Structure 1
């Protein structure tokens, strides 16, 4: 059965899109067929896969609002084993148009249901807001991967998100789990990065991934070339880190009833 993972954090600039793009590529490199759904109206995952903005191209908006099947929207990704449902700016309007819909929180889950088992993994790149697009992603997901930048207010941000996950479990998706908390932009030279890591480990224990995503210039450059870092520079530290993360995710999945996969959201 295919696994659906939402990449979510209401804070911007924490590495959600970078993680979505590069985790997808790393999973594909491990022979895991992966679908990426760009749920963010900014469309950075779409452009990060090499697709320029195109007003004539249909996007996730057309599925959520106009009921176009996702199969009619899928584009080939940058490497074998990756496919993409693109985003565009029309998704901004979807938040408004969905408000009056009955069952509005469940629309993405319904659209995804016919195809989710065609893939080993489906990754949902969420916008930096707790809006209806993010809510749809969290209701459709089996689990949530939370990227956290190594900064002073990191713990405050993740606690707020986990409060939201608790509410979603109670009302819309009782099986929603925390896939893991991922530290991004980790700079081993700074005391702050180490302090944030230690604080998160103390608070969330083994829900924090062992993998640390470093600050890495090649990782930052890759999106401007429309490629995951594994295709841009497969030998750099950023590539190595996302391969390690993919192996962690696969290992958790293969354990089946492992603590992280079946764990309730903290505090539930």
Structure 2
């Protein structure tokens, strides 16, 4: 099985991207898959959720991307230093230094170092893909947690991915960012990554007993369901979702019986069924 890279993306904040990255990864790992989580957000929320202090991390995604640009011969050593190993999951951490990389990418783009059909490592769109390429044999799944900003850092993640999962909080206003997110995915597919697909739209913080959640689900399925898959299992609301990052544990480890943990288990099963289909 070749490595499958999935970006968790939505240009609206607060939809559950980091929670989904962490707990989908944990659920896949529980089924024996080798999983790497990549924190692609300068805020380092995923890094914090796994129990690390981003400020204390000396070798992060920013350093690896710098090595691709400046000293690619050092990348293998950098990867070995950057990747943090836990019992079932690995993490490529991030911190505020990633903002500096975004600035470098913008400068590269402005100076003409962008060739849409090129795989050149110096192309600012393909830097993250070059970081991840040496890891293909180590993992079954690479999950990339993206910030909500539709910038070159997000485009790097999409260009490095096979597919995307789009979390949508089950509130009416949260669906408003979906068209812009899907348009960005379409443009990246058209220009940089022709095999990029939308794995599915994922409703999060879902309260099945409330009319609002059911209406949002119905709206999403009616509007997009004929063109884009909508995951059968929404992520049920649970107060445990807000608690588990403080303990540096996945939701499946912290509260395995809570509805949201069980939802992520079902989500992993859907993802695995898709691969075996």
TM-score (norm 2): 0.88
Q: In structure 2, do the counterparts of structure 1 residues 200 and 222 end up closer, same or farther at CA, with 3 Å as the change threshold? A: same
Kindly report which structure 2 residues correspond to 1:225-240, keeping only aligned pairs within 5 A, or say none: 225-240=247-262
Aligned mates of 2:220, 2:182 — CA distance in 1: 13
Listed one character per residue, the Cα deviations across residues 203-228 of structure 1 (whole Å, up to 9, x for unaligned) are 22261000111110112210111111
Deviation at 1:54, TM superposition (A): 3.2
Kindly report which structure 2 residues correspond to 1:1-268, keeping only aligned pairs within 5 A, or say none: 1-67=2-68, 68-69=75-76, 70-77=79-86, 79-80=87-88, 82-101=89-108, 102=113, 103-205=123-225, 207-255=229-277
Listed one character per residue, the Cα deviations across residues 92-142 of structure 1 (whole Å, up to 9, x for unaligned) are 121111113331001111111121232110000001111111110000000
Deviation at 1:56, TM superposition (A): 4.9
Deviation at 1:189, TM superposition (A): 2.7
Deviation at 1:168, TM superposition (A): 0.7
- Structure 2 unaligned residues grouped into runs of 5+: 69-74, 114-122
Deviation at 1:154, TM superposition (A): 3.3
Structure 1 ranges of 4+ moved more than 6 A? none
Aligned mates of 1:110, 1:93 — CA distance in 2: 18
SS of residue matched to 2:134: coil
User: Is 94-103 or 165-174 further displaced after alignment?
Assistant: 94-103
Q: In structure 2, do the counterparts of structure 1 residues 149 and 56 end up closer, same or farther at CA, with 3 Å as the change threshold? A: closer
SS of residue matched to 2:157: helix
How many residues align structurally?
Answer: 253
Q: Is the Cα contact below 8 Å between 1:169 and 1:175 reproduced in 2?
A: yes
SS of residue matched to 1:11: coil
Q: Is the Cα contact below 8 Å between 1:65 and 1:98 reproduced in 2?
A: no
Listed one character per residue, the Cα deviations across residues 49-78 of structure 1 (whole Å, up to 9, x for unaligned) are 11123345210000112334433311013x
Q: In structure 2, do the counterparts of structure 1 residues 71 and 189 end up closer, same or farther at CA, with 3 Å as the change threshold? A: same
Aligned mates of 1:23, 1:41 — CA distance in 2: 21
Q: Is the Cα contact below 8 Å between 1:154 and 1:196 reproduced in 2?
A: no
Q: Is the Cα contact below 8 Å between 2:54 and 2:94 reproduced in 1?
A: no
Q: Is the Cα contact below 8 Å between 2:15 and 2:174 reproduced in 1?
A: no
Q: Is the Cα contact below 8 Å between 2:12 and 2:174 reproduced in 1?
A: no
